[in-house]
């Protein structure tokens, strides 16, 4: 393996900007790495060799012309639920298997404008619905730390690509934990900004009021760089927030002095078993060791998160996915009339998990159940926001597990609800729209597999969140103690 | 909170997804189980709580009324599962909307 | 003896009116009628994966102005909801509409019938939504859905802003329904919120029709009438439906609640009962859009832009003494009506000015192809002319000539009158002298008159007027002549 591929995005930017290496060199090294390992790992659904080389040349020209590009030459994995004009964009679904996007998502465009090189479109759970990537209809992605295990999901392809040095930055989308959980499983940083910070335009919707794009990276600094490039108002997204973005890359810090970090009483880790309990307790101590004051905070609604989420997200998805009807694009399975065509197309085009969520969401919105389910969940959602507001009166950040276990083996979660439980610790932050990330915090199980610590901040406090995560990462260097299997 | 058994066939009809008999049974059971989990929400006292549709509050996001470029027609129609000339073609429509 | 029951109709109208804007409701595609199929489409209005709507500010302003024009209340808070159902010309398979919080509530539409009777119909609400694309049905069925074997879709119209006006069931006859629609149309055109071209489909309406024994306050079973493509077909369709329902009631039958289509060729409505479709629209707030708050300042700003509206004008013109036809004619020529109103505001007698405006001025406009409002004759100049006539400074014959000279650009009527001494003469001595001259030259005439041929008076008056070069006060001439002759 060419060592270039192991460099952080920040290092690549420094070197490319100083013309010590070219974007082309970086790109060729990473493409070679992809060709070497991706048949085994399956991170990418589509590899973009030509596109990557074109962009590398373009970046080299811009650098030669004296431009400062904040992501000059950084190899990028784009989750395949984000549009990139002229490339196949599938959402890992048969219904979009051959769809070529005619436009580019705002977040992707901003990354490209900043000099990033698109290496490929990465795998995901179909329409980002899942926590293991097993729901992809188009390919299997393996965890680079143990090929028998899942990379997590739904942004499993991007997480695995970054972990396996097939990209320095992976774009993911997080609806209930889809960046943070695969981040934890793959020993990388997974960062979900505040809802509305990064434009959703061009992100194939799962649940509109929850979806948020964010980066997966090997360092917190790289996450900050990606965030700085992507965040900010987009007139094409009505829910994108029109408010200045505090640069995160310049707010990184080395200690946690003066910070109060809340430990959620209801997130008692003893129930996760002694080993994981000890791991998280140690992680909290590491935070304290860096100068943070640990305080206990309450999240009385914690146990209602899954119920709330599994009404709101499916309800929105049932409507968002109606457009896949075989009329204008994507798969069509013919029928005697247009109604049959719809039903056959959607039966053949969607996988079981997508169907389940569409059905439950349709039910939750249907006449007679709307108030009992959907409105009730929206009210519960208000309570999550209130609880967090109250908690943040006592602390600056919240620390919690990113997942309740390390990566599990394929096909080991047979019933849907046990899979849904994987998001127990990440869903509350999603419901409240908070910025949250997972950062490697050690290893558990046999074989020893990576675990992630989740940190969350009040709305819009991304800079503080990344700053603290950086201090933790610098001091503990947990990720560096692991080795990928490829 | 409603405790009715979910009528999977009716819901699938609304959602326009053809289900096999096997799926009707499997999904029926799985969705029933999920609804049971979801029913814990009835424990929450929410009568005085407003509903949240958007967690980050914002209002009046509008665009000014200016026309911009459209997609090229060939690009548009090249996506069509079936086209006829400049139109998208679909099988016969049974009913008015 | 049996008394035949008299029935009265109860009619409510729902109509969809396309708003006049430059761009569509939620994207920047041009809002224009016609054009090559599928050329006015973009990722948003084609519902491509990942695209998002952003509301058109002008459409919202149009809605508020329409509401204010009818005295509707404009709630401080409004939002968009999704109406979920599948239809091939509706790209997202949901329509962005407004469910429980429309932009305008209540209000009253004043309208008039052909005989000039003023009426009122209350509005339930007006809400904002988006139009669908257009389907053409082929392979048999003569362009109708029934009997066709496939459909072709053009999405140019998809996403055009549409307001839905829902009336209360206040209308009692087909004539009233048409009067109501005409008043809506006139008002929207006057406001500039829509062109209301029924032939281009920019106004489409459905009618809910029921009948009940006259005097009863209960509502009968209603049917919904569709496919009415002109005001004339609205009139015929409702009349035919009332007849049909009356016949059923008179024969002891029962009205079935159903949708019925108007068949223009056959001149009757027919049941559109098709395969029973489950209609459960699963409305919920669109999570891709944010709510609309409307402050008092915006309402006041928009209120100032509301012109005098057709029903107010019509009522005023009737008070001025115009007959219903004249008043309608003037109301429907809003530039001329503005001109007329301005002349009245400048001090012209309303009745006298009307005679000029509908008479000589309109004739001149026709002859020269220049609208009165575009001519050099200002409303103030017309008022001056009218005042000269009314004050008996000039007589109507001179006034007619003067108007032509004013039209030709000779300037102020007063100036011409003064310069050329055209002032009407009411000097008895002067006129008597002229009369004496004429009688001397026409001795036979005087004799005839005395013999009872009183119609000779007109001839003599004309002769005197001619001798005065048109300046003599004709009434005075007449009076003095009579005296001399008797
Ligand atoms: Zn468009």
**A373 lies within 8 A of chain C by CB:** no
**B85 lies within 8 A of chain A by CB:** no
Among C250, C274, C299, the domain boundary falls at C299
Please state, for a pLDDT cut of 90, what percent of chain B lies above it.
84
A137 found inside a domain: yes
Task: Give me the pLDDT at residue C278, please.
Answer: 58
CB of A391 within 8 A of CB of A338?
A: no
Which tokens go with C110? 């004043």
Give residue-wise pLDDT tens across range A90-110. Answer: 999 999 999 999 999 999 999
C238 found inside a domain: yes
HEC sequence for A215-234: EEECCHHHHHHHHHHHCCCC
Q: Residue C64: its chain B contacts at CB < 8 A?
A: none
Whether B59 sits inside 8 A of C31 (CB atoms) is no
Residue carrying the six token digits 């009619």: C11
Q: What is the mean pLDDT of residues C25-41?
A: 95
The answer to whether residues C271 and C370 belong to one domain is no
The rounded distance, in Å, linking the Cα atoms of A221 and A169 is 11
Mean of per-residue pLDDT scores for chain A: 97
CB of C68 within 8 A of CB of C286?
A: no
Find the Cα–Cα–Cα–Cα dihedral A377, A383, A387, A390, rounded to 10°. Answer: 150
Which residue blocks in C332-391 are alpha helix, DSSP H?
Answer: 334-345, 350-356, 362-368, 379-390
Smallest CA-to-CA distance from C31 within C75, C62, C77 is with C62
Q: What is the mean pLDDT of residues A385-390?
A: 97
Chain A: give the shortest CA distance to residue B81, in Å.
6
Task: Write out the residue range of the structural domain in which residue C216 sits.
Answer: 7-299
Domains in chain C: how many in total? 3
What backbone torsions phi and psi does residue C484 show, to the nearest 5 degrees?
-60, -40
CA angle C450, C451, C452 (to 5 degrees): 90
Is the N-terminal amide bond of A447 cis, ω within 30° of 0?
yes
Q: What is the mean pLDDT of residues C377-392?
A: 86
CB under 8 Å to B7, separation ≥6 — which residues?
Answer: none
User: Nearest residue of B to residue C45 by CA position?
Assistant: B70
- The number of residues in chain B equals 97
Task: Give me the pLDDT at residue C277, please.
Answer: 57
Whether C48 sits inside 8 A of A89 (CB atoms) is no
Domains in chain A: how many in total? 1
Residue carrying the six token digits 């560096």: A480
Q: Residue C79: its chain B contacts at CB < 8 A?
A: 53
User: Nearest residue of A to residue C54 by CA position?
Assistant: A238
Chain B: give the shortest CA distance to residue C230, in Å.
20
C1 found inside a domain: no
Smallest CA-to-CA distance from C289 within C75, C130, C58, C52 is with C52
The answer to whether residues C32 and C155 belong to one domain is yes
Neighbouring CB atoms inside 10 A of C217's CB total 5
C49 found inside a domain: yes
Task: Give me the pLDDT at residue B3, please.
Answer: 43
**Spacing, Cα C51 to ligand 1 middle (Å):** 10
Neighbouring CB atoms inside 10 A of C366's CB total 10
A464 found inside a domain: yes
Interface test with C, best of A88, A106, A236 (most C CBs within 10 A): A236
Is C5 a residue whose pLDDT tops 90? no
Task: Give me the pLDDT at residue B1, please.
Answer: 42
Among C369, C388, C420, the domain boundary falls at C420
Whether B63 sits inside 8 A of C31 (CB atoms) is no
Task: Give me the pLDDT at residue C284, please.
Answer: 97
Task: Give me the pLDDT at residue C140, please.
Answer: 79
The answer to whether residues C203 and C175 belong to one domain is yes
The rounded distance, in Å, linking the Cα atoms of C417 and C360 is 19
CB of A209 within 8 A of CB of A312?
A: yes
Q: Cα–chain-centroid distance for residue A306?
A: 18
The rounded distance, in Å, linking the Cα atoms of C4 and C250 is 9
DSSP classification of residue B80: -
Give residue-wise pLDDT tens across range C288-329. Answer: 999 999 999 999 999 999 999 999 999 999 998 889 998 998
Task: Write out the residue range of the structural domain in which residue A143 sits.
Answer: 3-258+396-481
CB under 8 Å to C486, separation ≥6 — which residues?
Answer: none
Task: Give me the pLDDT at residue C273, please.
Answer: 67
Q: What is the mean pLDDT of residues A163-179?
A: 98
Task: Give me the pLDDT at residue A397, please.
Answer: 98
Q: Residue C42: its chain B contacts at CB < 8 A?
A: 68-71
CB under 8 Å to B49, separation ≥6 — which residues?
Answer: A379, A380, A382, A383
Whether A373 sits inside 8 A of B23 (CB atoms) is no
The rounded distance, in Å, linking the Cα atoms of A275 and B31 is 34
Please report, in angstroms and rounded to a whole number, the separation of the first and last CA atoms in chain A: 10
Find which of A308-322, C317-331, C455-469 is predicted with most confidence, using mean pLDDT: A308-322
SS3 A50: helix
CB under 8 Å to C216, separation ≥6 — which residues?
Answer: none
Distances (CA, A) of C34 to C37, C101, C157, C199: 8, 32, 9, 12
Chain A: give the shortest CA distance to residue C215, in Å.
37
A231 found inside a domain: yes
The answer to whether residues C24 and C45 belong to one domain is yes
pLDDT band with cut points at 50, 70 and 90 for residue A462: very high
**Spacing, Cα C293 to ligand 1 middle (Å):** 25
Smallest CA-to-CA distance from A300 within A391, A425, A178 is with A391
The answer to whether residues C228 and C340 belong to one domain is no
Ranking C117-126, C434-443, C464-473 by mean pLDDT, the lowest is C464-473
**A344 lies within 8 A of chain C by CB:** no
In chain B, domain spans: 8-43
Whether B54 sits inside 8 A of C290 (CB atoms) is yes
**A342 lies within 8 A of chain C by CB:** yes
**Spacing, Cα C193 to ligand 1 middle (Å):** 20
Q: What is the mean pLDDT of residues C73-98?
A: 97
What is the secondary structure of A410-466 as a DSSP string?
TT---SHHHHHGGGTTTHHHHHHT--EEEEEEEEETTTTEEEEEEEE-STT-HHHHH
**A233 lies within 8 A of chain B by CB:** no
Whether C94 sits inside 8 A of A102 (CB atoms) is no
CB of A396 within 8 A of CB of A261?
A: yes
Is C206 a residue whose pLDDT tops 80? yes
CB of B92 within 8 A of CB of C149?
A: yes
**Spacing, Cα B12 to ligand 1 middle (Å):** 30
Mean of per-residue pLDDT scores for chain C: 90
Indicate which CATH number applies to the domain containing C465. 1.10.10.410
Please state, for a pLDDT cut of 70, what percent of chain C lies above it.
97
Give residue-wise pLDDT tens across range A401-459. Answer: 999 999 999 999 988 888 888 899 999 999 999 999 999 999 999 999 999 999 999 99
**Spacing, Cα B76 to ligand 1 middle (Å):** 12
**Spacing, Cα A228 to ligand 1 middle (Å):** 30
Smallest CA-to-CA distance from C362 within C386, C338, C336, C343 is with C336
Whether C154 sits inside 8 A of B86 (CB atoms) is yes
Ranking C51-55, C91-95, C138-142, C240-244 by mean pLDDT, the lowest is C138-142
Indicate which CATH number applies to the domain containing A89. 3.90.1300.10
The rounded distance, in Å, linking the Cα atoms of A71 and A14 is 9
Among C368, C398, C420, the domain boundary falls at C420
Smallest CA-to-CA distance from B97 within A328, C201, C277, C202 is with C277
Task: Give me the pLDDT at residue C474, please.
Answer: 77
Chain B: give the shortest CA distance to residue C334, in Å.
26
Q: Residue A209: its chain C contacts at CB < 8 A?
A: 287
Neighbours of C, requiring at least 3 CB pairs below 8 Å, are A, B
Is B2 a residue whose pLDDT tops 60? no
Whether A239 sits inside 8 A of C54 (CB atoms) is no
| Catalytic positions of A, written as ranges | 79, 154, 178
Ranking A386-395, C367-376, C458-467 by mean pLDDT, the lowest is C458-467
Q: What is the mean pLDDT of residues A210-232?
A: 98
SS3 A165: coil
Nearest to A347 among B8, B17, B71 (CB): B17
**A401 lies within 8 A of chain B by CB:** no
Q: What is the mean pLDDT of residues A14-41?
A: 98
> How are beta strands C161-167 and C118-130 bridged, if at all?
antiparallel
The answer to whether residues C85 and C147 belong to one domain is yes
The answer to whether residues C277 and C368 belong to one domain is no
The answer to whether residues C337 and C481 belong to one domain is no
Nearest to B51 among A347, A368, A378 (CB): A378
Task: Give me the pLDDT at residue C1, please.
Answer: 52
The rounded distance, in Å, linking the Cα atoms of A431 and A312 is 9
CB under 8 Å to C112, separation ≥6 — which residues?
Answer: C118, C119, C179, C183, C311, C314, C324, C328
Indicate the angle between helix axes A462-476 and A220-230, nearest 10 degrees.
160
Which tokens go with C62? 């149009």
């Amino acid at each position: 393996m060419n060592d270039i591929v192991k460099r952080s995005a920040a290092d690549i930017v420094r070197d490319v900007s100083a013309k010590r290496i070219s974007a082309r060199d970086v790109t060729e090294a990473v493409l070679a790495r992809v060709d070497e390992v991706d048949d085994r790992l399956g991170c990418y659904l589509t590899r973009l060799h030509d596109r990557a080389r074109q962009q590398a040349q373009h970046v080299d020209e811009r650098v030669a012309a004296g431009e400062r590009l904040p992501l000059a030459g950084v190899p990028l994995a784009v989750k395949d639920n984000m549009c990139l004009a002229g490339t196949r964009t599938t959402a890992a679904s048969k219904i979009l298997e051959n769809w070529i996007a005619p436009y580019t998502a705002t977040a992707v465009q901003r990354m490209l404008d900043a000099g990033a090189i698109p290496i490929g479109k990465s795998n995901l759970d179909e329409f980002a619905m899942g926590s293991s990537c097993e729901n992809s209809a188009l390919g299997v992605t393996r965890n680079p730390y143990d090929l028998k295990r899942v990379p997590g999901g739904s942004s499993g392809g991007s997480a695995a690509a970054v972990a396996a040095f097939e990209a320095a930055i992976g774009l993911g989308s997080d609806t209930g934990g889809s960046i943070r959980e695969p981040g934890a499983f793959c020993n990388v940083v997974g960062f979900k900004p505040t809802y509305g910070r990064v434009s959703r335009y061009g992100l194939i919707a799962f649940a509109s009021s929850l979806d948020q794009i964010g980066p997966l990276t090997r360092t917190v600094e790289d996450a900050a760089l990606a965030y700085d490039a992507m965040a900010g108002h987009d007139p094409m997204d009505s829910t994108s927030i029109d408010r200045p973005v505090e640069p995160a890359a310049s707010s990184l810090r080395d200690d946690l002095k003066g910070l109060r970090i809340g430990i959620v009483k209801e997130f008692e880790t003893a129930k996760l078993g002694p080993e994981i309990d000890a791991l998280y307790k140690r992680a909290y101590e590491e935070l304290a060791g860096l100068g943070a004051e640990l305080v206990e905070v309450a999240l009385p609604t914690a146990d209602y998160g899954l119920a709330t989420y599994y009404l709101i997200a499916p309800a929105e998805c049932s409507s968002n996915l109606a457009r896949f009807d075989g009329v204008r694009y994507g798969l069509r399975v013919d029928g005697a009339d247009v109604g049959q065509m719809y039903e056959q197309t959607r039966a053949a085009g969607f996988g079981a998990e997508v169907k389940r969520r569409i059905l439950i969401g349709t039910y939750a919105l249907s006449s007679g159940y709307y108030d009992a389910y959907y409105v009730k969940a929206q009210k519960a959602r208000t309570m999550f926001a209130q609880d967090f507001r109250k908690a943040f009166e006592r602390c600056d950040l919240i620390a919690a597990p990113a997942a309740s276990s390390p990566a599990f083996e394929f096909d080991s979660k047979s019933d849907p609800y046990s899979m849904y439980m994987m998001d127990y610790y990440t869903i509350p932050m999603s419901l409240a729209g908070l910025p949250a990330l997972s950062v490697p915090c050690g290893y558990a199980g046999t074989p020893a597999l990576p675990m992630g610590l989740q940190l969350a901040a009040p709305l819009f406090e991304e800079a503080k969140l990344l700053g603290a995560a950086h201090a933790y990462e610098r001091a503990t260097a947990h990720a560096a103690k692991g080795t990928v299997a490829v | 909170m409603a405790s009715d058994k979910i009528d999977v066939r009716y819901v699938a009809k609304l959602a326009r997804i053809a289900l096999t008999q096997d799926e009707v049974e499997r999904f029926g059971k799985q969705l029933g189980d999920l609804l049971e989990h979801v029913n814990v929400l009835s424990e929450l006292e929410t009568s005085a709580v407003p509903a949240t549709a958007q967690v980050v509050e914002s209002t009046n996001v509008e665009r000014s009324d200016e026309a911009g470029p459209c997609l090229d027609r060939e690009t548009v129609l090249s996506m069509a599962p079936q086209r006829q000339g400049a139109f998208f073609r679909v099988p016969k429509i049974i009913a008015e909307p | 003896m049996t008394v035949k029951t008299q029935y009265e109709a109860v009619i409510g109208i729902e109509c969809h009116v396309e708003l006049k804007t430059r761009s569509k409701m939620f994207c920047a595609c041009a809002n224009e009628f016609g054009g090559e199929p599928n050329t006015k489409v973009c990722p948003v209005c084609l519902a491509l994966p990942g695209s998002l709507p952003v509301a058109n500010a002008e459409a919202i302003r149009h809605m508020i102005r329409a509401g204010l024009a009818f005295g509707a209340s404009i709630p401080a808070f409004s939002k968009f909801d999704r109406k979920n159902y599948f239809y091939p010309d509706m790209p997202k398979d949901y329509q962005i509409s407004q469910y429980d919080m429309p932009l305008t509530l209540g209000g009253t539409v004043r309208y008039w019938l052909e005989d000039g009777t003023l009426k009122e119909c209350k509005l339930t609400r007006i809400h904002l939504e988006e139009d669908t694309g257009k389907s053409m049905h082929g392979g048999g069925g003569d362009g109708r859905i029934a009997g066709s074997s496939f459909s072709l879709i053009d999405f140019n119209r998809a996403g055009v802003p549409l307001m839905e006006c829902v009336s209360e069931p206040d209308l009692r006859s087909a004539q009233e329904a048409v009067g109501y629609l005409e008043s809506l149309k006139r008002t929207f055109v006057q406001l500039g919120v829509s062109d209301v071209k029924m032939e281009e489909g920019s106004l489409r309406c459905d009618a809910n029709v029921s009948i009940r024994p006259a005097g009863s306050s209960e509502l009968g079973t209603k049917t919904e009438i569709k496919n009415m493509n002109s005001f004339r077909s609205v009139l015929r369709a409702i009349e035919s439906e009332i007849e049909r329902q009356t016949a059923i009631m008179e024969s002891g039958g029962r009205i079935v609640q159903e949708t019925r289509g108007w068949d223009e060729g056959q001149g009757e409505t027919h049941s559109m009962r098709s395969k029973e479709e489950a209609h459960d629209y699963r409305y919920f707030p669109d999570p891709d859009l944010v709510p609309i708050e409307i402050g008092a300042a915006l309402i006041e700003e928009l209120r100032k832009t509301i012109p005098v509206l057709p029903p107010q004008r019509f009522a005023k013109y009737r008070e001025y003494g115009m007959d219903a036809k004249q008043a309608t004619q003037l109301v429907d020529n809003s530039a001329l009506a503005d001109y007329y109103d301005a002349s009245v505001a400048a001090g012209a007698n309303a009745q006298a000015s009307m005679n000029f405006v509908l008479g000589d001025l309109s004739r001149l406009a026709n002859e020269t192809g220049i609208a009165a409002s575009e001519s050099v004759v200002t409303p103030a100049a017309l008022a001056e002319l009218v005042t000269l006539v009314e004050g008996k400074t000039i007589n109507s014959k001179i006034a007619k000539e003067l108007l032509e000279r004013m039209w030709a650009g000779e300037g102020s009527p007063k100036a011409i009158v003064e310069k050329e001494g055209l002032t009407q003469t009411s000097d008895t001595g002067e006129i008597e002298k002229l009369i004496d001259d004429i009688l001397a030259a026409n001795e036979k005439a005087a004799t005839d008159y005395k013999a009872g041929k009183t119609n000779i008076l007109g001839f003599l008056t004309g002769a005197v007027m001619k001798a005065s070069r048109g300046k003599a006060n004709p009434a005075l001439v007449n009076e003095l002549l009579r005296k001399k002759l008797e």
